[in-house]
A and B are shown apart, each in its own frame.
Chain A
Amino acid sequence: MMTSLRRVAPLVALVGLLAGAAVAVAQPAQPPRQMDEFVPIDELPQQEQIPAANLLIPAYAFVWVAVLVYVVSIARRLNGVQREVERLEADIKARK
């Protein structure tokens, strides 16, 4: 009985160790905590600026471009409808 336990013990220990390691690896990284206020700082570490700029510039560019495209779209649609109104009014006048 004791002999078989001695044989199995290293195997159980190994399985336990591997399982523990697997669980530790499988754990997601600690998620960032939810913020309830923004705390300002004066200086930003230099290495921080480049990756953030790659996201910041597209964000602002998207807002400007989307608004501009929408304004152009409304202006074009308004001009088209305005032209149609003028044409129809001219047709109605011509009939009278």
Chain B
Amino acid sequence: MPKWFTPAAALCGLMFAVSPLLIANAPFESTMGMVQKISYYHMPSAWIFLIAAIVCGVASVRYLFRGTISQDRLAAAAAELVVLFGALALVTGPLWARKAWGVWWQWDVRLTSSLMGWMVAVAYILVRKYGGPGSDKLAAGLALFGMANVPFIYISVNYWRTIHPKTTVIPKLPLEMGVPFWFCVVAFLLLFMLLLRLRVRLEEQRARVDALYLSLD
């Protein structure tokens, strides 16, 4: 593993340990009250979900057009993180919505397109696992759909009728809410980078196993 990995992992652990204290000290939101504090983990999870989908899509494009195996490994690693961070966003969101909106789920454009993006990543993993020979390229094609969905997910709340908060809540965050929020964003970004590196390492080691089996024959 690279030299930066261990210090970065220690820093990430420390940031996640400190984050509940910062969140607890942040003020309550006037209309939603305490339940709005879910946003400090929900929004960074959702952002990382979108970033992971972009990483998976870009790596898949490079793999499809240049045939770079390392990009295929990166795409496979990122797809698993799309599923992880997407699950975090899709579970914490309804827990927040239950109190803020009175319902667990709304089939509005933001929630539906997010669920679709998550399902595309699940499909990517299933195709790679059970698709047989050539499934890596088929999965790469799926990843393109996942990436194309990202801007749609992000801007949807500003253009379609929905009760999901707009993207403007972030730049308008007051300082006392903004500090814990951006702290959590950095912690989640660091976690994503660490998990991505670990997952790519797993793919590299699997490739090494395949190469060793071939050399045995």
Interface residues of A (CB under 8 A from B): 29, 31-45, 48-49, 51-53, 55-56, 58-60, 62-64, 66-67, 70-71, 74, 77-78, 81-82, 84-85, 88-89, 91-92, 95
Distance in Å: Cβ of A94 to nearest Cβ of chain B? 11
Residue positions of B touching A, CB distance < 8 A: 16, 20, 26-39, 41-42, 45, 84, 87-88, 91-92, 95-96, 98-102, 157, 161-166, 168-169, 172-174, 176-177, 191, 195, 198-199, 201-202, 205-206, 208-209, 212-213, 215-216
Inter-chain CA distance A95–B44, complex, in Å, is 52
Alpha-carbon gap, A58 to B95, bound state (A) = 8
Give the total number of A-B pairs whose CB atoms are below 8 A apart: 141
Given A32-B163, A78-B201, A89-B212, CB of A41 within 8 Å of CB of B27: yes
- Contacts A78-B205, A81-B205, A91-B216 given; does A36 touch B37 at CB 8 Å: no
Chain A residues contacting B16 (CB-CB under 8 Å) are 64
Please determine whether A36 and B87 come into contact, CB atoms closer than 8 angstroms: no
Q: Are A38 and B87 in contact (CB under 8 A)?
A: no
Let me know if A40 and B174 touch, CB within 8 A: yes
Tell me which residues across on chain A come within 8 A of B205, comparing CB atoms.
Answer: 78, 81-82, 85
| B102 in contact with A40 (CB, 8 Å) | no
Q: Which residues of A contact B164 (CB under 8 A)?
A: 34
Contact A74 B101 (CB under 8 A): no
